[in-house]
Amino acid sequence: MLTFRLIHDGGLWIADNGNVRVEAGTLPELDRKLGLALGRSKQEGGPDRIDVRMTFDNSVIPKWMRQYSNHYFNRVVTINLV
């Protein structure tokens, strides 16, 4: 399983793990773009799918709101490598 930091900058969702950075206007588009980015690095005979954990970085939202948001933004998705 790969782990990515997930943020929203007010316009785009951004997933970043230090090696791969993907930006998109919607979460489904982010998943698709992540599949494309990870698929380019897929090794011969490697898996066609990979589980990805996206943990929202709460430091980008106001402190008073963090108590309500933590469980809304963490996600685990299975990405089809394209």
Q: Which amino acid is at 7?
A: I
Tell me: pLDDT of 54 over 90. yes
The Cα 6–Cα 55 span in angstroms is 6
Instruction: Find the mean pLDDT for residues 14-29.
Output: 96
| pLDDT band, very low/low/confident/very high, at 40 (cuts 50, 70, 90) | confident
Which pLDDT value is given to residue 12? 97
Does residue 61 have a pLDDT over 90?
no
Report the number of distinct structural domains present in the chain.
1
- Reported as a pLDDT band with limits 50, 70 and 90, residue 62 is confident
Q: How far is CA 33 from CA 8, 60, 62, 65, 69, in A?
A: 16, 22, 28, 29, 25
Structural domain containing residue 64: 2-80
HSE-CB at 79 with a 13 A cutoff on CA atoms is 27
> The domain that contains 54 carries what CATH number?
3.30.2390
Non-local (6+) Cβ contacts of 32 within 8 A are 24
